[in-house]
Amino acid sequence: MKSSDIIIVGGGLSGLTLAYLLAQKNIESIVLEASPRLGGRIQTVTGALDTPLELGATWFSDMHPNLLSLVKELGLTTYPQFSKGISLFQTKSFEPPQKFFVPEAEAPSYRLAGGTQTLPDTLAKKLAAPSIRFNTRVTAIRDAEDSVLVETATGEEIRAGKVVLCLPPQLAAANITFSPALPEPVLEILPTVQTWMAGAVKFTLEYGEPFWRKEGYSGMLYSHAGLIAEMYDHTNYEEDKFGFTGFLSGGAASYSQEVRKEFVLRQLGELLGEKALAPTAYFDKVWTDEFILAGTQVIQRPHQNNGHPFLQQSYMNGKLFFAGTETATAFAGYMEGAVLSAKSIAERL
């Protein structure tokens, strides 16, 4: 059996930020990550031309000071989302789209140069190499009086002084057995905490040239008529790689990826012309895998029970904590919330 001061369950932005903040305080931690990759709801892929393309978190703003200061501290570069030119709003499939312009004075959304994935990747580089373990799904947590025993899907047990759950609370409730059981009111609340963006379908396209910019378009599209519901220019920081990213409408998950691609290209071909039909890469992701969802989410309101007071308390006599963006008391669901939750736990540990 191995042991550590602190076990962090989940290698998303909150877990990695927490490990980074603890390392600064000389507190040893191990991050146990169920999937084979880092970043959780942050996932940047690259196209045939090496363009960083976002399947997960992409934008942030001046309203996100904790995220911005972390990004700065790590030496990463931000740049504004491109929005100059004609944007399109499609209300009905049988009518031409309405054209609009985003006012220049509008506070910009930012993106990260190199892709959002540079954030978890840079945090991980700051940690000692053995401190992150992939393909390690936590299945049980047992109170062992002066320590906690964390069990993984392979039956391995790791002892720690404290455990921090840096994953959606709903997933913790569904997949982790707590002994002794968490208090009944807490067990009732956990499945009702909405996991932000679970079920979303994000798509991204790469092109050899920004043909839309050359024709005066911003690349921004909102539609009530086609499979693409929202789309934005996805040119890189250096402005030498090009593409789009955005969200597909709710029903998109029921089609195969091949059919989704066909519908996306048809919609763009009609709106932006033939050049749109020849991307160098198409990716999309339906965010319903086991690393974000356990079964179907039954939620009435966006951000329901995010930042709930039960998520601020510790359990197992001060040895078990909840973190992760859904626990944040402000900006829950967003990257800012993930960083905020890590900061607040780091202060308490």
Residues found near ligand FAD in the complex (CB under 6 A): 9-15, 32-35, 40-42, 56-60, 137-138, 166-168, 171, 175-176, 196-197, 200, 202, 287, 291-292, 324-325, 333-335, 337-338
Task: Tell me how far apart the 2 most distant CA atoms of the chain are, in Å.
Answer: 68
Q: Where on the phi/psi map is residue 163: left (φ > 0), alpha (ψ -120 to 50), or beta?
A: beta
CB of 167 to ligand FAD, least distance (A): 4
* CA dist list (Å): 279 to 155, 262, 269, 270: 45, 12, 11, 15
Within 13 Å, how many C-alpha atoms sit on residue 63's CB side? 11
State how far the Cα of 279 lies from the Cα of 274, in Å rounded to an integer. Answer: 11
Nearer to ligand FAD, 11 or 226 (CB): 11
Nearer to ligand FAD, 10 or 115 (CB): 10
The DSSP secondary structure of 129-152, one letter per residue, reads GGGEESS--EEEEEE-SSSEEEEE
Nearer to ligand FAD, 68 or 86 (CB): 68
CA angle 193, 246, 286 (to 5 degrees): 50
CB of 215 to ligand FAD, least distance (A): 27
CB of 17 to ligand FAD, least distance (A): 8
CB of 221 to ligand FAD, least distance (A): 17
Query: What SS3 state is found at 258?
Result: helix
CB of 323 to ligand FAD, least distance (A): 7
CB of 274 to ligand FAD, least distance (A): 29
Nearer to ligand FAD, 169 or 279 (CB): 169
Nearer to ligand FAD, 97 or 121 (CB): 121
Nearer to ligand FAD, 93 or 177 (CB): 177
State how far the Cα of 160 lies from the Cα of 171, in Å rounded to an integer. Answer: 21
Which among 329, 328, 311 is positioned nearest to 320, based on CA atoms? 311
How many CB atoms are closer than 10 A to CB 113?
Answer: 14
Nearer to ligand FAD, 35 or 87 (CB): 35
Nearer to ligand FAD, 97 or 338 (CB): 338
CB of 249 to ligand FAD, least distance (A): 14
Which among 217, 222, 248 is positioned nearest to 233, based on CA atoms? 217
Specify whether the CB–CB gap between 51 and 243 falls below 8 A.
yes
CB of 228 to ligand FAD, least distance (A): 14
State how far the Cα of 43 lies from the Cα of 35, in Å rounded to an integer. Answer: 12
CB of 196 to ligand FAD, least distance (A): 6
Query: What SS3 state is found at 186?
Result: helix
Nearer to ligand FAD, 60 or 315 (CB): 60
Which residues 6+ apart lie within 8 Å of 229 measured at CB? Answer: 222, 223, 246, 247, 248, 249
